[in-house]
């Protein structure tokens, strides 16, 4: 890659347009970029980086609040950077314009325009420039592919930051690994380590799960067998050799013993079933005799109780008979009560109707009242025409009021419209200004949003890094404590096991029975069985200790796994967040968030302002239309009011004759309507009262005749004999119950088998039940014993089959785990075969560092007059692993020492040599793209004259490889030594560049 020309406009400190001819500067091979502090030397390098990648170097972009646009630029001058370069044999021109706030063409304020980019290629055959792309993404991908480097790599190997390499010399292995990992992209080797570790954990979990399942089946078989097997199951931990064979052997012994116990249990159950059947038959016979004897005794007692209630039963029968006779008189009674109630209501209505009439109608009958009502109705019909006239007069009055109200409303509308329209122009201008301000704020918020998300992501990673660091310490302490507890628990369990084995004779003697053979010697005589002492350890105590050890071991394994997970998470978070303190990242993110929130809040009113402007325009149209419509309505109201006045005069004359003494025709009509209604109601009430009196007289006669025919002296006696529904049902129920009870008692006393059983002696039911219960209990015991033996056999067969399957499945898994574990340990640096405890990624980076050190040594020896040589060291550094060590060999003393011991000047030319060597190696790594233009930033002031000459000779020797090197420095002596110069001069109106070539 070779730079030819750079044009800068309104960028950084440069207010106008400045051009840099790199072809002229590179002719000498070595050129100087100098100027006072703050003039803009670094901004020239920033412009090169921005032209290629659309962003300035990361250290200056994040956290510094860099503003690309120059504060000295004219308002209408847009920021632009154009770079012409040759890369991979192609001559390209890249032009980039960052977003900027252009002054509005009308009014005040600015309008934000989006960023733009152009990429062109020079075609030598046609001697013209050809447009390739205007897409930011396409241009970025094309440049990155041609250079073979990311922006970070470019800034590291082309814009050589000497301060970074000085820190690299003094850094520890971990910091060097991070830088080299980013430059050489060795994360794929870290992924290999991660995948191997994940595979190892997965296979280990599968093997442990298989062993745990096999041991769990062994414990289940022990629980299923109970105490029938005298030999305990194998006492082995997961992973120990011989576990599978021992479990399968013990399972075979348990199955054989269980089958023998099942045969004995079946024989005992058959005998118990026969005994229970005989006892059940005897119990059934005794129960039947006892039931018949109780039945006869109960029947005799029920017959005695019926005899005591015989008189009450006969009285209830007589009461029921009188009630049935009274039911024939009930319809006449109901008819008489209804007639009496109807007559009473009609009399009341007649009295109320007569009270509402004038005194002249007090003694009038129904015909007279009806005639008076017809006369009032006829007079009312004659007032219908006058009513219509009166209603029309009211309508005219309302119309006049409505016209007056409309006139006032139209006056208000005209005044309101004139007032609103007077401020229309001012309101429209204010709303338009608000819209433009909100648009500017929205654009600014979008720009800040692009910077906010990366800052937030890095802050989250930094917080996770800090938390994971604390979690790592806690997890490490917890894992160490858990492993110590597991070790103590294992020692305790082994001690108890040894004590139990020493006292196993007493435990076996506890199961001896006189007359039965001993399980050890076979003798049926037991003259001196061993006795348990006070501190005897039994199987339960040993099993509790074993369970405690297993739990502690599982907890320790889990804590170690968690420690590994936390360490991996810490490494990932550190790689993403870097070494920047969290507080600094939080401050940067908070500043971005505050600026973004301010811009977002300022731009949130854009939609509302547009809505208000649109609504104001509609309101303007509505006000103008309302003003015109009000004027038209005022003209129409004048003729309407004249017609209304003429019709009112005619109607008032007609109504004066029709209403007479009343206030109005409606009042006169209401008087006649009320009078006719009262007369009609009174006539109807008189006729109704006369009819109900006659019906009451007829009902009394029918009631007396019905009571006499039913056998009652008076109607009152018949009414007293009646029963309501509830009393009738209750009386009939008592009669039916007595009858049913009497029939049932007679039937029981007449049964032959019941009478015969009563003559026999009392049955002994308790003795028979005890005998049957004893037989049933014996059967249940034998059945339970058989079922238990059968379940034991079934369970042992099932568990044995599953254990065999587990043994066959675990074999290949264990082989795979051993193979993967060896590979993972070797890659992670924890294996004994990895003598230097070096991780795979560190191994690859060490090879790269060795290449860099070799390339740097070529120049370092020349700069130091053959005194210093850089060598890579793979000695162990911290945590027992090999680090990325970098040492310097001093030829004067013949000793090798750390690069951190170099002096300031020595550190400079060592870091310069390292930077140039790294540039060569990274260039080869990127696909061999030539880097014909390099920049070195500061550091020459720490060199003496002789060393400076040697360093300049080394840099000047780069011309042998057709390279040009630009030195950024304040050192005045360099201005005499280097003739090709690019000077940056600052002033009140911005900085300018002055270029001087070799010929000058």
On the question of pLDDT at 93 being above 90, the answer is: yes
Round to whole Å and give the CA distance between 665 and 658: 7
User: Rounded to an integer, what distance in angstroms lies between the CA atom of residue 503 and that of residue 480?
Assistant: 35
Query: How far is residue 549's CA from residue 533's CA, in Å, rounded to a whole number?
Result: 26
For residue 80, name the pLDDT band (cuts at 50, 70, 90): very high
**pLDDT tens readout for residues 669-701:** 676 677 777 777 777 877 777 778 887 788 777
Q: Dump the DSSP string for 515-530.
A: TSPPTTT--S--SS--
Alpha helices by DSSP H, listed for 27-150, are: 41-53, 58-61, 136-147
pLDDT per residue over 470-483, tens digit each?
888 888 888 889 88
User: 161 — phi, psi (to 5°)?
Assistant: -85, 100
Neighbours of 643 (CB within 10 A): 11
Q: What is the pLDDT of residues 416-443, one digit of tens each?
A: 878 877 887 888 788 788 787 878 877 7
Rounded Cα distance between 812 and 810, Å, is: 6
How far apart CA 59 and CA 46 sit, in angstroms, is 11
Tokens 């209505």, located at residue: 349
> How much is the pLDDT for 963?
67
pLDDT of residue 63: 37
**809-854 residue pLDDT tens:** 777 777 777 787 777 777 776 766 666 677 776 777 777 777 777 8
Angle value at C-alpha 654, between 653 and 655, nearest 5 degrees: 95
Q: Look at 372-381, 833-842, 936-945 and tell me which has the smallest mean pLDDT.
A: 936-945
Q: How far apart are CA 653 and CA 109, in angstroms?
A: 77
In this prediction, residue 510 carries a pLDDT of: 65
Between β-strands 30-34 and 980-985, what pairing exists: parallel, antiparallel or unpaired? parallel
pLDDT at 8 over 90: yes
pLDDT score, position 877: 52
Q: Render the burial of 582-599: b for 16+ CB within 10 Å, e for the rest.
A: beebeebbeebbebbeeb
Straight-line distance from the first to the last Cα atom of the chain, in angstroms, rounded to the nearest whole number: 26
pLDDT top residue among 9 and 456: 9
| CA–CA gap between residue 967 and residue 938 (Å, rounded) | 7
Q: CA 661, CA 668: separation in Å to the nearest integer?
A: 8
CA 987, CA 70: separation in Å to the nearest integer? 13
Contacts of 987 (CB under 8 A, 6+ apart): none
Q: Are 241 and 209 in contact (CB under 8 A)?
A: no
- Who has greater pLDDT, 233 or 376? 233
In sequence order, the β-bridge partners of residue 966 are: 31, 935
Reported confidence tier of residue 82, pLDDT bands at 50, 70, 90: very high
Kindly report, residue by residue over 271-320, the tens digit of the pLDDT.
888 888 888 888 787 777 777 777 777 887 778 877 777 778 777 777 77
Q: What percent of the chain has pLDDT over 70?
A: 80
Order across the sheet with 159-161: list the strands. Answer: 159-161, 933-937, 964-968, 30-34, 980-985, 992-996
Residue 175 has pLDDT above 70, yes or no: no
Lowest mean pLDDT among 390-394, 456-460, 726-730, 880-884: 880-884
List CB contacts of 329: < 8 A, sequence separation 6 or more. 703, 706, 707, 710, 712, 715, 718, 719, 722
Which residues, 6+ apart, have CB-to-CB distance to 845 below 8 Å?
176, 177, 180, 181, 184, 186, 884
Lowest-pLDDT choice from 128-137, 233-242, 614-623: 233-242
Residues in the chain: 1000
What secondary structure letter does DSSP report for 882?
A: B
Judged against a pLDDT cut of 70, whether residue 926 lies above it is answered with no
Q: pLDDT (tens digit, 9 = 90+) per residue, 944-988?
A: 666 666 666 666 665 555 567 777 877 777 777 788 888 888 888
Per DSSP, the residues of 716-756 read: HHHHHH---HHHHHHHHHHHHHHHHHHHHHHHHHT-HHHHH
Give the pLDDT confidence score for residue 475 in this predicted structure: 86
From the CB of residue 251, how many other CB atoms can be counted at a distance below 10 Å?
24
CA distance 476 to 484: 12
Asked whether residue 66 carries a pLDDT value surpassing 50, the answer given is no
Q: Output the pLDDT for position 92.
A: 92
Please tell me the predicted confidence (pLDDT) of residue 64.
37
| 3-state secondary structure (DSSP) of residue 130 | strand
pLDDT at 941: 53
Q: Is 722 left (phi over 0), alpha (psi -120 to 50) or beta?
A: beta
Q: Residue 412: its pLDDT value, please?
A: 78
If phi > 0 it is left, if psi is from -120 to 50 it is alpha, else beta; for residue 88 that is left
> In angstroms, rounded to a whole number, what is the distance separating the alpha carbons of residues 849 and 851?
5
When mean pLDDT is compared across 89-103, 498-512, 689-703, 789-803, the lowest value belongs to: 498-512
Percent of the chain's residues with pLDDT above 90: 3
Nearest to 993 by CA among 10, 14, 2: 14
C-alpha 884: how far from chain center: 44
> Which pairing describes strands 90-97 and 992-996: parallel, antiparallel, or unpaired?
unpaired
Read off the pLDDT of residues 647-669 as tens digits, 9 standing for 90 and up: 777 766 666 666 666 666 666 66
Task: Look at 41-55, 498-512, 770-784 and tell me which has the smallest mean pLDDT.
Answer: 498-512
DSSP per-residue string spanning 542-582: HHHHHHHHHHHHHHHHHHHHHHHHHHHHHHHHHHHHTTS-H
Mean pLDDT, to the nearest integer, of 327-346?
Answer: 79
Give the pLDDT of residue 95: 94
Return the pLDDT at 750. Answer: 78
User: In this structure, are residues 624 and 359 in contact, taking their beta carbons and an 8 Å threshold?
Assistant: no
Among 55-59, 524-528, 608-612, 793-797, the range with the most confident prediction by mean pLDDT is 793-797
Confidence band (pLDDT; 50, 70, 90) for 242?
Answer: low
Residues near 170 by beta carbon (within 8 Å), at least 6 away in sequence: 899, 900, 907
pLDDT of residue 661: 62
Give the chain's mean pLDDT.
76
**119 has which bridge partners?**
94, 133
Confidence at residue 921, expressed as pLDDT on a 0 to 100 scale: 73
Which has the minimum average pLDDT: 101-110, 118-127, 954-963? 954-963
**Average pLDDT, integer, range 564-583:** 76
Query: Is residue 881 scored above 50 in pLDDT?
Result: no
Q: Which of 137, 81, 94 has the alpha carbon at shortest distance from 1?
A: 94
């Amino acid at each position: 890659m070779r730079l030819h020309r750079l044009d800068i406009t309104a960028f950084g400190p440069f207010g106008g347009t400045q051009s840099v001819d790199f072809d002229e500067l590179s002719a000498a091979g070595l050129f100087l970029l100098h100027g006072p502090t703050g003039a803009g030397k670094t901004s020239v390098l920033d412009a090169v980086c921005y032209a290629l990648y659309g962003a300035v170097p990361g250290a200056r972009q994040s956290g510094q609040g860099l503003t690309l646009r120059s504060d000295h630029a004219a308002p209408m001058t847009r920021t632009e950077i154009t770079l012409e370069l040759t890369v991979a044999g192609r001559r390209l021109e890249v032009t980039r314009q960052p977003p900027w706030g252009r002054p509005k063409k009308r009014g005040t304020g600015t309008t934000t325009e989006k960023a733009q980019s152009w990429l062109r290629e020079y075609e030598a055959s046609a001697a013209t420039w050809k447009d390739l792309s205007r897409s930011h993404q396409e241009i970025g991908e094309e440049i990155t592919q041609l250079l073979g480097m990311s922006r970070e790599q470019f800034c590291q190997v082309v814009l050589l930051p000497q301060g970074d390499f000085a820190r690299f010399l003094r850094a520890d292995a971990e910091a060097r690994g991070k830088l080299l990992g980013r430059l050489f992209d060795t994360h794929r080797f870290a992924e290999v380590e991660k995948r191997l570790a994940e595979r190892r954990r997965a296979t280990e979990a599968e093997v442990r799960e298989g062993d745990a399942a096999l041991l769990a089946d062994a414990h289940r078989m022990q629980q299923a067998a109970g105490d029938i097997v005298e030999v305990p199951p194998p006492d082995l931990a997961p992973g120990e050799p011989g576990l599978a064979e021992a479990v399968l052997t013990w399972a075979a012994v348990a199955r054989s013993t269980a089958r023998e116990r099942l045969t004995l249990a079946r024989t005992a159950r058959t005998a118990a079933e026969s005994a229970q059947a005989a006892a059940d038959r005897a119990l059934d016979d005794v129960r039947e005799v006892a039931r018949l004897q109780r039945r006869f005794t109960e029947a005799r007692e029920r017959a005695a109780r019926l005899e005591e209630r015989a008189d009450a039963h006969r009285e209830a029968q007589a009461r029921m008979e009188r009630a049935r006779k009274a039911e024939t008189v009930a319809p006449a009674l109901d008819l008489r009560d209804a007639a009496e109630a109807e007559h009473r209501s009609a009399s009341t209505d007649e009295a109320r109707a007569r009270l509402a009439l004038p005194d002249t109608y007090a003694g009038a009958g129904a015909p007279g009242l009806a005639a008076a009502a017809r006369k009032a109705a006829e007079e009312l019909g004659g007032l219908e025409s006058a009513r219509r006239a009166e209603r029309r007069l009211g309508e005219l009055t309302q119309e006049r009021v409505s016209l007056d109200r409309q006139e006032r409303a139209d006056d208000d509308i005209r005044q309101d419209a004139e007032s609103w329209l007077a401020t229309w122009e001012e309101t429209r201008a204010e709303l338009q200004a608000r819209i433009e301000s909100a648009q500017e704020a929205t654009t600014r918020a979008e720009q800040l949003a692009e910077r906010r998300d990366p800052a937030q992501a890095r802050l989250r990673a930094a917080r996770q890094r800090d938390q994971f660091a604390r979690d790592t310490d806690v997890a490490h302490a917890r894992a160490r404590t858990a492993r110590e507890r597991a070790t103590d628990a294992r020692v305790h369990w082994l001690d108890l096991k040894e004590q139990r084995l020493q006292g196993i004779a007493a435990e076996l003697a506890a199961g001896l029975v006189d007359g039965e053979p001993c399980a050890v010697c076979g003798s049926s005589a037991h003259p001196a069985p061993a006795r348990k002492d006070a501190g005897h350890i039994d199987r339960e105590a040993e099993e509790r200790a074993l369970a405690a050890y297993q739990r502690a071991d599982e907890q320790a394994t889990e804590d170690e796994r968690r420690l590994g997970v936390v360490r991996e998470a810490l490494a990932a978070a550190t790689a993403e967040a870097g070494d920047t303190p969290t507080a600094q990242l939080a401050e940067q993110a908070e500043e971005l968030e505050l600026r973004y929130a301010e811009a977002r809040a300022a731009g949130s009113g854009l939609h509302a302002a547009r809505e208000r402007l649109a609504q104001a325009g509609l309101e303007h149209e509505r006000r103008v239309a309302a003003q015109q419509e009000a004027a038209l309505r005022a003209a129409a109201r004048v003729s309407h009011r004249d017609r209304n006045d003429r019709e009112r005069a005619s109607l008032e004359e007609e109504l004066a004759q029709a209403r007479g003494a009343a206030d109005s025709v409606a009042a006169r009509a209401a008087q006649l309507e009320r009078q006719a209604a009262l007369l009609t109601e009174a006539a109807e009430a008189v006729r109704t009262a006369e009819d109900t009196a006659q019906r009451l007289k007829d009902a009394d006669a029918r009631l007396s005749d019905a009571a006499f025919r039913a056998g009652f002296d008076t109607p009152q006696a018949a009414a007293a004999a009646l029963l309501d529904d509830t009393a009738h049902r209750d009386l009939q129920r008592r009669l039916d119950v007595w009858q049913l009870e009497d029939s049932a008692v007679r039937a029981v006393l007449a049964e032959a088998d019941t009478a015969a059983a009563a003559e026999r002696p009392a049955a002994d039911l308790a003795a028979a039940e005890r005998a049957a219960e004893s037989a049933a209990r014996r059967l249940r015991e034998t059945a339970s014993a058989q079922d238990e033996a059968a379940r034991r056999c079934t369970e042992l067969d099932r568990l044995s089959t599953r254990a065999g399957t587990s043994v066959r499945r675990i074999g290949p898994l264990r082989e795979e785990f051993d193979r993967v574990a060896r590979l993972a340990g070797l890659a992670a640096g924890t294996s004994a075969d990895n003598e230097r405890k070096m991780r795979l990624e560190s191994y690859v980076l060490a090879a790269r560092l060795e290449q860099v050190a070799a390339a740097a040594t070529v120049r370092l020896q020349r700069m130091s007059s053959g005194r210093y040589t850089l060598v890579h060291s793979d000695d162990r550094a911290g945590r027992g692993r090999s680090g990325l060590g970098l040492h310097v060999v001093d030829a004067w003393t013949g000793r090798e020492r750390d690069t951190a011991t170099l002096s300031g000047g020595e550190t400079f030319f060592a870091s310069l040599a390292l930077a140039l060597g790294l540039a060569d190696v990274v260039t080869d790594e990127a696909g061999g793209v030539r880097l014909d233009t390099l920049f070195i930033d500061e550091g020459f002031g720490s060199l003496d004259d002789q060393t400076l000459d040697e360093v300049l000779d080394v840099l000047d020797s780069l011309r042998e490889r057709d390279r040009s090197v630009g030195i950024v420095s304040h050192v005045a002596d360099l201005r005499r030594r280097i003739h090709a110069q690019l000077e940056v001069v600052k002033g009140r109106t911005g900085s300018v560049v002055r270029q001087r070539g070799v010929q000058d």
